């Protein structure tokens, strides 16, 4: 009985709240909202008012929360409307200073472009270019022309084709060579990479049929031979970028796979994922594009924005017949590379013609190859800047482990140095949250109750901004 009355009472309150909820017109007359109407299209503001009212109405009806009397008035609702309109009209993508220690961070936009590539992107974006036009002949040409020759020079391949990303390159290679046929893949290579790039799914979408070969950890050449059939069109080898099967393992060499595929009139597709073009000590365990081609792969695919340090792109290099089949395939048009990425890739690939220059100029390579001493010095400089903020913060330079990221070199950790930050009266998670909310945002990582800012992924030009960001976070 008592319960009943309470429930009815609550229902009554909810009904009151709903009845008192300001009307759209009332909210629009609030000075703050009226000012928005001067600055933005009426429809945008009205939609925001409706969205705020709807959300409150739903909250009341769901019984989750009863608003205070002031909250349902036009004046109480106006700030929400303003916030919603500001959010809708402010570009969403924000600049982030990467203090995570993960050099190519997939969620933070992967590779950072060299300055000269950024300039090329800006030029291509702000004006017209000869993207698909031969200035010499005054007629149509292909966007591939800008990167085709330099890719051949760098990899020694007969032919090259660039598409939107590596997932697209693999899809296109499979569709062009194996639609309606079978593709042999080792069980240990049926991986999911990054954000839901699953080899079995890509294979199905290409119109080919997957034939699993061997066991998870061991696959022999005879397993491939036993799985071979009349409909076999390709062997796909996938570099298991983001994990390693260690211990009791075995797989045939690429040369053996190539021989088997060619003897059966099929092709060998090698998806390298990252594809090291530079001859770096760090890449010693990464398969190189040249080696794959030399071993007999018909097409080798890799990403533009992983260890290459360029823009998002999928690069396919290999034998003329296979690459030509990909170029002719109808999917090629749907998967084509964007013009801004062509502009950046054009510049980045040419930097590789002089490996020393590539190391210096390409931020990804510079960050991966920087000696620990340099990283330590940067950490010390950052610690100095932060110490200058006063005794509200305590800082210490600590040893750290950075990573290459982007699914490459998964088991390789790079020695690094970080600044461990503690702020008075602020726990590390809260400090991290405030730094993520800043402009630019700073993303570090919390470890042992302290926020760590890894200096390997920060650049010299970032340090002053990080210090300003920390000061703001303390003041917030």
Ligand X SMILES: *Cc1c(COP(=O)(O)O)cnc(C)c1O
Write out the residues near ligand X by the rule CB under 6 A.
165-167, 170, 193-194, 197, 238-239, 241, 271, 273, 303, 314, 407
Nearer to ligand X, 174 or 455 (CB): 174
Nearer to ligand X, 167 or 351 (CB): 167
Shortest distance, position 331 Cβ to ligand X, whole Å:
15
Shortest distance, position 157 Cβ to ligand X, whole Å:
18
- Residue 301 CA, distance from chain mean position: 18
Nearer to ligand X, 165 or 457 (CB): 165
Shortest distance, position 242 Cβ to ligand X, whole Å:
7
Nearer to ligand X, 238 or 325 (CB): 238
Shortest distance, position 187 Cβ to ligand X, whole Å:
16
Shortest distance, position 229 Cβ to ligand X, whole Å:
25
Shortest distance, position 344 Cβ to ligand X, whole Å:
14
CA atoms lying within 13 Å on the CB side of residue 139: 1
Integer angstrom CA distances of residue 6 from 2, 65, 67, 216, 249: 6, 15, 17, 62, 68
Nearer to ligand X, 263 or 334 (CB): 334
Calpha distance 211→260 (Å, rounded): 15
Nearer to ligand X, 189 or 322 (CB): 189
- Give the DSSP H/E element, type plus range, for residue 177: helix 166-178
448 Cβ neighbours under 8 A, 6+ residues apart: none
Nearer to ligand X, 124 or 173 (CB): 173
Nearer to ligand X, 17 or 322 (CB): 322
Nearer to ligand X, 197 or 352 (CB): 197
Shortest distance, position 88 Cβ to ligand X, whole Å:
30
Dihedrals φ, ψ of 382, to 5°? -65, -45
Nearer to ligand X, 169 or 420 (CB): 169
Calpha distance 394→423 (Å, rounded): 6
Task: Single out the residue of 108, 457, 446, 158 nearest to residue 318, CA to CA.
Answer: 158
Crossing angle of the two packed helices 42-61 and 2-20, in degrees rounded to 10: 170
Assess contact for 37 and 48: CB atoms under 8 A.
Answer: no
Can you say whether residue 194 is alpha, beta or left, with left for phi > 0 and alpha for psi between -120 and 50 degrees? Answer: left
* Block residue for tokens 């008012």: 49
Residue number of the CB atom closest to ligand X: 273
Nearer to ligand X, 210 or 458 (CB): 210
Nearer to ligand X, 276 or 442 (CB): 276
Cis before 440? omega within 30: yes
Shortest distance, position 286 Cβ to ligand X, whole Å:
11
3-state secondary structure of 378: helix
Shortest distance, position 194 Cβ to ligand X, whole Å:
5
Alpha helix stretches (DSSP H) within 62-162: 74-89, 115-126, 145-155
CA atoms lying within 13 Å on the CB side of residue 439: 5
Q: Are strands 393-405 and 413-423 parallel, antiparallel or unpaired?
A: antiparallel
Calpha distance 52→71 (Å, rounded): 11
Calpha distance 388→463 (Å, rounded): 13
Query: What percentage of the chain's residues is helix, strand, coil (to nearest 5)?
Result: 50, 20, 30
Alpha helix stretches (DSSP H) within 331-392: 331-334, 339-351, 355-361, 363-369, 372-387
Nearer to ligand X, 407 or 438 (CB): 407
Shortest distance, position 173 Cβ to ligand X, whole Å:
11
Calpha distance 254→265 (Å, rounded): 16
Calpha distance 127→474 (Å, rounded): 43
Crossing angle of the two packed helices 428-436 and 463-475, in degrees rounded to 10: 110
Shortest distance, position 237 Cβ to ligand X, whole Å:
10
Shortest distance, position 104 Cβ to ligand X, whole Å:
10
DSSP string across 122-149: HHHHHS---TTEETTTTEE--TTHHHHH
Shortest distance, position 6 Cβ to ligand X, whole Å:
56
């Amino acid at each position: 009985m008592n319960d009943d009355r309470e429930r009815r009472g609550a229902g009554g309150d909810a009904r009151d709240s709903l009845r008192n909820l300001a009307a759209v017109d009332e909210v629009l007359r609030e000075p703050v909202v009226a000012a928005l109407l001067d600055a933005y299209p009426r429809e945008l503001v009205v939609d925001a008012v409706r969205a705020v009212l709807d959300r409150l109405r739903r909250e009341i009806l769901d019984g989750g929360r009863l608003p205070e009397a002031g909250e349902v008035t036009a004046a109480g609702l106006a700030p929400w409307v303003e916030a919603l309109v500001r959010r809708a009209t402010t570009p969403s993508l924000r600049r982030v200073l990467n203090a995570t220690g993960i050099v190519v961070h997939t969620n933070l936009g992967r590779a950072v472009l060299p300055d000269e590539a950024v300039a090329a992107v800006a030029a291509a974006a702000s004006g017209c270019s000869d993207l698909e036009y031969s200035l010499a002949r005054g007629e149509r040409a292909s966007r591939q022309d800008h990167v085709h020759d330099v890719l051949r020079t760098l990899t020694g391949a007969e032919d090259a084709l660039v598409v939107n990303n590596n997932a697209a390159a693999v899809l296109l290679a499979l569709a062009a060579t194996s639609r309606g046929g079978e593709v042999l893949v080792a069980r240990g290579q049926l991986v999911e990479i990054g954000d839901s790039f699953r080899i079995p799914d890509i294979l199905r979408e290409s119109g080919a049929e997957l034939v699993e070969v061997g066991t998870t950890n061991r696959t022999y050449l005879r397993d491939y031979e036993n799985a071979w059939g009349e409909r076999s069109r390709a062997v796909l080898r996938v570099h298991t970028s983001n994990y390693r099967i260690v211990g009791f393992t075995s797989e045939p060499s690429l040369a053996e796979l190539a021989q088997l595929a060619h003897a059966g009139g099929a092709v060998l597709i090698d998806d390298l994922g990252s594809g090291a073009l530079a001859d770096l000590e760090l890449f010693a365990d990464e398969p190189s594009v040249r080696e794959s081609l030399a071993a007999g792969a018909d097409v080798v695919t890799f990403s533009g924005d992983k260890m290459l340090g360029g823009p998002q792109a999928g690069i396919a290099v290999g034998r003329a017949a296979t690459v030509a089949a990909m170029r002719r395939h109808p999917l090629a048009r749907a998967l084509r590379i964007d013009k801004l990425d062509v502009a950046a890739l054009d510049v980045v690939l040419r930097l590789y013609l002089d490996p020393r220059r590539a190391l210096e100029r390409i931020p990804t390579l510079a960050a991966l190859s920087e000696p620990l001493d340099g990283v330590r010095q940067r950490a010390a400089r950052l610690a100095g800047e932060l110490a200058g903020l006063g005794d509200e913060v305590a800082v210490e330079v600590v040893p750290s482990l950075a990573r290459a990221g982007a699914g490459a070199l998964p088991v390789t950790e790079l020695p690094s140095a970080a600044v461990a930050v503690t702020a008075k009266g602020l726990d590390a998670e809260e400090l991290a949250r405030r730094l993520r909310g800043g402009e630019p945002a700073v993303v570090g990582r919390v470890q042992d109750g302290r926020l760590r800012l890894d200096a390997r992924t920060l650049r010299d030009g970032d340090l002053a901004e990080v210090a300003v960001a920390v000061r703001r976070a303390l003041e917030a």
